[in-house]
Every structure is written in C-alpha cells, then in structure tokens.
Amino acid sequence: MATNLSAAPQPQLTVPQFKESVLKHLHSTLGTYEEKASQQAWNQAIAAAINEFVYDGVSRTRKTHAGKGTRAVHYLSLEFLMGRLMSNNLQNLGLYEIADAAMTDLGQSLSDILEEEPDMALGNGGLGRLAACFIDSMATLSLPAIGYGIHYEHGLFRQEFYKGRQVERPDEWREFGSSWEICRPESQQTVKLYGYVETVYEQGQSRKVWRPSRTLRAIPWDIPIVGYGGQNVNILRLWESRADKFFDWDVFNSGGYLDAYAESVQAETVSKVLYPNDETEAGKELRLIQQYFFSAASIADVMRRYKSAHGNDLSKFAELNAMQLNDTHPAIAIPELMRILVDEEGFTWHDAWTMTRATFAYTNHTLLPEALERWPLKLIEKVLPRHMEIIFEINSRFLQDEVEAKWPGDDAVKRKLSIIEEGSAQMVRMGNLSAVGSHTVNGVAQIHSELVKKDLFPELNALWPTKFTNVTNGITPRRWMKACNPRLSSLIEKHVDADWPRYLEKLSGLKALADDAAFQKDYMAVKQANKEDFVKVIRELTGIEVSADAIFDVQIKRLHEYKRQHLNLLHIMALYRRLLIDPNYDLHPRVFIFGAKAAPGYRLAKEIIFAINKVAEKINNDVRINNKLKVVFLPNYRVSLAEKLIPASDVSEQISLAGKEASGTGNMKLALNGAITIGTMDGANIEIAEEAGTDNVVIFGMEVDDVEALLAKGYQPADYYRSNDELKAVLDWLDGDFFTPGEPGLLSEVKRNLIESDSFMVLADFEAYSEAQKKIDTLYRDKKAWARAAIMNTASLAKFNSDRSIQDYAENIWHIKAVPAKS
C-alpha cells in the first residue's frame, strides 16, 4: 500500500486560492469576465495563474546558479517537440487536482479547457520529442541545464487527408501568442553571415578577421521547464531571427515603402518554418543558416553568461560548460567555438582545440546514409567563409597528427576519415566533424551504439576506443503515464509509493500482482475505459465506428519505408482476404490504428498513406466481414493525440527492419501503458524484451546478422512474391481497382517498389510477421495471460525513464551534479 505520499509534489494553493487567482487574471490580465469569457480566455487565465509559480521557480533557480562555479549543460537541438504544457505544468507543480476542482466550481471543465492549447510542434518526431523528455528530466533532477533551439513561427505542418491523400497545411501554434514564453530582448545576440575573411597584421602577428556582409538579430524566447515537484525550473531558450535594422528608414523616406520591409522579411524567414524532413538531409542554404543561426546565438549566450560571472578569463570555460549536440544539426557550433576562441579571444589553436573538444559531445540518432548530413563545401564557404577555413584546419591537423600516427602512409583510411569528402563536388561530412570535435559520441540504444562503432565509425573507434558509448533513450513518466493515463496512475498509486513518477522502479512492486485476479480485473478495466474514451475520439476525427472490445493495434510514428507501415498493411490485407475466403475465419476483432506524417517530398511514403486509406475505406464499409476488422488512419498525429491513444492501446507495432531503427521511444511509451509489443530485434525493442521478459513481448523476423547475410547473398524480393500465394494475392490486389473503384493501378507503385527493390525487406519478413500476429490473437483470447503480460510490461519499464538516461549523460558524459534551487 502507498506510504510515501509526501514524495509527490505538494500543492501550494487551496482550491479557493486557485479560483481567486484565475478570476483575477481573467479580469485584469485578459480584460474579460466569467459570463463572457471564451474557453481560450479561461485557458490563458489558468496559464497566468500557473505562471505565478513558474516565474518564481525560474528566479529561484537562476539565483541559485548565478555566479556559482557549477558546471552546466547546454542541450543544442534544432527540434523540441514539446506538445502541450498546461497539464504537464499542473502535474509537476502538484496543482492538477486543485485546478480541476477550482474550474468545476467555476462551472468550467478543465479537460475541455486543456484542449484549447495548441501543440508546440517544433520537431519532426523521435529526436525532437526526446529533447523534450530530456529537458523535463534535467529540470526534475535539478541539473543546471538549458535547452537551446529555434523559435519557429510554424512548427511541423498540420496533416489533412483529401481523398485519401496527405495534404500539408501550415501550423499556427502561436497565432494568438503563447502563454508560456517570455521574450528576453535584453539578451539578444547578433549573428553574422556571408562576406569574406581578411588577414590583419598587427605587431608582427597576423590575425584572421571575418567581415560579414549580413547580420541577423537573434531574439530569445524563454519557455520555463518545470521539474517534477516544482523545485527547479529550467529554461528552454528559443531564438527568433529578425533583421538587424528592422526598418530601413532611408529607403522608406525616399518612397520605397515596401522595399523597406524587404530585409526584415528575408531575415525573418530564418526562423519561419521547421524543415519537415526526418531522416533525409535537406541540403538547402536556409537550413544551413538555421543551423548556424541558433548555434552561434547559443554559444554567444553561453559566453555572455560566463563572462558576466567570471570575467574575461576564459580558462575555466570548458570546465564549466558542457554542450550536447542533438545529432549533427548543431555541428557548426564546433568551428564557431574555435573561431571565437582563436580569432576573438586570442587563444592558440592548440589550447582552443583542447577546450572545444572538452566542451562538446555528440549524440547520433541514425545510421541511414540518406540522413547523414553533408554540406557542399562551396555553400559553407559562401555562407560561413571563416568556418570553412577552420574546418580545413581541423581536418588537416586531424589527418596529419592523429590518423597519420595510427596508420602511417595509408591514404585510403585518410580519404575515409576526412571531414572533407572528395568528388566532383566536395562535401563537408558533419558526422565526421562532430565525432572529431567531441570528447564523447553516443548512440541511443545498445544495438545502435554497437552499430555506430562497427558500421559508421569503425576507424574512429579504433583510434579512440573510449570515445564511443551508449545511452539508451528514455521517456518522461510524468507526461507518458501520470498525466496521460490518470486511471492507470490512480490504480498504481493504490499499490506503490506515490513517488513512482520520479522513481519508476517502484512499479516493479506490481509484478507481485501480475497473477492476482482482482488486480488483473482492475488493470484491464482501466484499459477498457481508456479504449471507450478513444472510440469517441476516432468517431469525432474520422466518423469511423469501432468497438472497444476489439484489439486496438497501433502503429504511430513518422511514415518511412524502414519503419515498414506497408508490412502492417500487407498483413491487414491478408486478414481481410482470409475473412472474405472464409467468413468464419477465427479472428478476434481487431482495429488497426495508424498515425503518421510523411515528409512532403517523400513520394513513396505518401503513396503508402494513400494505400492504407484506400484499403481502410474498403474494409470499413464491407459488411461481409462482420466488423471483425477495422482500419483507422488518424489525421494529424501529434503529441496531444498520442497522449490519448497510448493509454488505449493493446498492441504496439515496432516492426522496423533490424538495424534501422536507432532506438524508438514510442515503443517505450506504449509498453509502459500496457501494450504488448510485436516487434523485430531492433533498437530499444531488444532492451524492452530484456526488461519485460521475452514471454511478454512478441518478437519476430530477421535479426541484424540475418539481414546482412541476405544482403550478401543478394536479396530477391520477387522470390518471396512468387513463393507465397497469400503474399502474391495481396500484392496483386494493389494492381486492380478493388480498393480504388473505377481507377485501376492507383496503388501499383507500392507493389512495384516491393517487388523490384524492397530496400527494407518487407517481403522477406512477411511470413514471420503474419505468424507473430497469430500469437497476438491467441494470447489476447487468454484474458489472464494477456493481463499478466500487460501488467509485466508496466511493472518492468523503469530502465526507460528519461531520468535514468539523463543521469547516465550527467555522470558519464557531462560530469555535472545536481544543484537544487533554494526555496
């Protein structure tokens, strides 16, 4: 039974006090009153009431850190996929129940008001959401930490379907401002671009000076990040770009009214929109400028803070500042720090390089070749001429001093390790730059970190065997259990200590109840209630009717061939076909639920969305199959929708080709909420199986070695097509007009791709997947066995608490310690 109640955040307000605060803000901050206020106004008034605590926390945390010689970490990420903040902030401050009761007293529904908040979708997928979970954990662990990113005007596009096809609409997350951000004009920075480099001779010494031809202003917007318990409130600092001179008065006065705006419009495009590609390198000038803009503004900010605390003596800079590169997107920060130290602060190259390497660490999130960033040398030379010189210098010293010493005279290895890739157009390899300029490189799950060493950087690993390490990803249990699954959280609280959202290992206490009939009943009743809620969401969003008694089988992630949503689709078609052939085919009713956005330029991904929508339309309207099968593609999948769906999920689809999914984090969220994983031995699935027990997950398909062997032998997808009648039949189905009446061939591209190339070996894994799905069906019918497996998942996932990931980074990579803010 629960004992340690004091460990949960303690509310610092009573219900009447909270009510009073909300009303005060409704009247004097929003200028409205109870009878007239819109839901949005109520939302803003609650946010203002919450912010009274939050801002106090920001000040306390700042004062605690100010001027102290404590090492801090700076998490540089082009993406932070925050979702909504209100419910999370209320939970972390221990105010949720108070606010709920206060709003009920005021005749309002808190849960409806929460729906008013737009998602802060400043990220594409896993990498961006990981950054959001990590800053939650850094604040919760009282670590001196700051997140740095871009204040995009438009986040990831809103997805609509038109006749089954994805249409992208602009995201307007701050059309009417955002309640959480604070503009800090006093901390703005200037960022230089373009121009040329001059060599200046002074007192017999030469010095490089960059003469930029354009400058941008970087304006910081701070989002407070409330740690669980509310003790520390850290900051996410997002940079907005503006023209250096907002308005050219000379042009204006001479009659060029519109021209006067031109420069500001151009400058503002830098933070205008998030690039919607995940796992493909964009290669565009504006993207490079985005990367440099936020890296340079962030480093300047770190410098400013250091100097205001320690003066101009930078000798302790590296000792006091850690910087984490979230993938290679901020890698240009490495030559930027070198430029500041050498050109502006007068350090020798050797000392500057020692400091730079001691400062940076790099996280790799992918092995896919198309995702590894390479910039045309000519482009970097044009936009950042001094940085290109510095990269040349870093490279030549690295090749001459370190590579030559290890492999004397070996030009092949030099060519492979060079930061500059030779070819008809020379390219700068940002992965190599990041690895060379960092003291530590980590992958995001055990298998992935091994592959980083073995396949991506084998020589660098031989050169620096201690540089490469693993930090398995994690998720914050505050958002991904306590806030999103209140029913399960209250059930859990009846049986384990109340501080489980902080110490997730406490859930292991539930293992003893995994076979307890009464607990199983309560646990499955929670799942059923969550599913019933979600039935309504499906109806509202798609008009599709589904039963909460069916298995909710869920695949939610970006649409990508390597994630193999089309493997799921082929299996759905096979089930449908079996039901048509034999209406008595024994199948527990199943609802397949998809949520996925495709990069706007990714043709095949969009064809797969179209195919799933068309197959869904046919199946959902076919009375012959007696509602045994439904397919739902939820439009506009995003964090706030995931928060509703994950608690209602039974089956978690994690079916990437082995070796391709670096980690996955949706797999952790679903398993924690009691979904059974059907998955390959890939990414963190392997560790989930280890923790939850192999009996409590369904693993299938080729492993990394099998994939390599098949590739070496020569993969012939058409062989699988020819030798499996069912597979052949469903693929051939795509050619006709069965799913696209009157328009045969609309889905042929998916079939053609699978038979002719199938880069991610969908056909090779089809049979094993189909068998694994039978195991899911059988297991689900055994109510006790299913409940047991689900409970074991919830009880065993402590390893995937992002607090543990951050503790690993803090101890092994950043070497920083907690500094709890004084009350």
**Which parts of this chain interact with ligand BZD (CB under 6 A)?**
124-127, 130, 277-279, 365-366, 371, 444, 473, 661-665, 683
Mapped onto helix, strand or coil, the DSSP state of residue 264 is: helix
Catalytic residue among 558, 590, 597, 638: 558
Residue whose CB is less far from ligand BZD, 328 or 489? 328
Residues 6 or more apart whose CB falls under 8 angstroms from that of 307 comprise none
Residue whose CB is less far from ligand BZD, 92 or 665? 665
Mapped onto helix, strand or coil, the DSSP state of residue 637 is: coil
Burial class (CB in 10 A: 0-12, 13-18, 19+), 680: buried
Mapped onto helix, strand or coil, the DSSP state of residue 261 is: helix
Lookup: tokens for 765: 């894994």
Answer for the pair 673, 653: CB distance below 8 angstroms, yes or no: no
In the annotation, is 817 catalytic? no
Lookup: tokens for 452: 């980083």
Catalytic residue among 71, 84, 365, 564: 365
Residues 6 or more apart whose CB falls under 8 angstroms from that of 668 comprise 473, 474, 475, 480, 684, 688, 797, 800
The C-alpha atoms of residue 187 and residue 222 are separated, in whole angstroms, by 11
Question: CA nearest 645: which of 637, 653, 654, 656?
Answer: 637
Indicate the residue whose CB is closest to ligand BZD: 126
The torsion of the CA quartet 757, 761, 765, 766, rounded to 10 degrees, works out to -30
Residue 233 pairs in a beta bridge with 226
**Cα of 164 vs its chain's centroid, Å:** 26
From the CB of 408, what's the least distance to ligand BZD, in Å? 37
Give the up-direction half-sphere exposure of residue 500: CA atoms within 13 A in the CB hemisphere: 30
Lookup: tokens for 220: 């910081």
In the annotation, is 365 catalytic? yes
Position 175: which residue type? E
Residue whose CB is less far from ligand BZD, 72 or 444? 444
Residues 6 or more apart whose CB falls under 8 angstroms from that of 346 comprise none
Answer for the pair 166, 156: CB distance below 8 angstroms, yes or no: no
In the annotation, is 366 catalytic? no
Lookup: tokens for 264: 């500001």
Burial class (CB in 10 A: 0-12, 13-18, 19+), 102: buried
From the CB of 666, what's the least distance to ligand BZD, in Å? 8
Residue whose CB is less far from ligand BZD, 641 or 789? 641
Answer for the pair 79, 149: CB distance below 8 angstroms, yes or no: yes
Catalytic residue among 84, 129, 357, 557: 557
From the CB of 493, what's the least distance to ligand BZD, in Å? 29
From the CB of 661, what's the least distance to ligand BZD, in Å? 5
Residue whose CB is less far from ligand BZD, 91 or 473? 473
From the CB of 134, what's the least distance to ligand BZD, in Å? 10
Length of the chain as a residue count: 823
In the annotation, is 728 catalytic? no
Strand order in the sheet with 629-634: 629-634, 590-595, 551-556, 651-654, 676-679, 698-699
From the CB of 813, what's the least distance to ligand BZD, in Å? 15
Residue whose CB is less far from ligand BZD, 385 or 664? 664
In the annotation, is 557 catalytic? yes
Question: CA nearest 648: which of 805, 457, 779, 488?
Answer: 488
The C-alpha atoms of residue 40 and residue 18 are separated, in whole angstroms, by 18
The C-alpha atoms of residue 84 and residue 116 are separated, in whole angstroms, by 10
Give the up-direction half-sphere exposure of residue 69: CA atoms within 13 A in the CB hemisphere: 6
Question: CA nearest 430: which of 365, 482, 503, 515?
Answer: 365
The C-alpha atoms of residue 359 and residue 361 are separated, in whole angstroms, by 7
Catalytic residue among 563, 590, 614, 628: 563
How far the first Cα of the chain sits from its last, in Å, is 31
Residue 217 pairs in a beta bridge with 190, 242
Burial class (CB in 10 A: 0-12, 13-18, 19+), 747: buried
**What does R_g of the chain's alpha carbons equal in angstroms?**
27
From the CB of 594, what's the least distance to ligand BZD, in Å? 17
Residue 221 pairs in a beta bridge with 183, 238
Answer for the pair 76, 325: CB distance below 8 angstroms, yes or no: yes
Catalytic residue among 386, 571, 669, 799: 669
Which residues are marked as active site?
Answer: 365, 557-558, 563, 665, 669
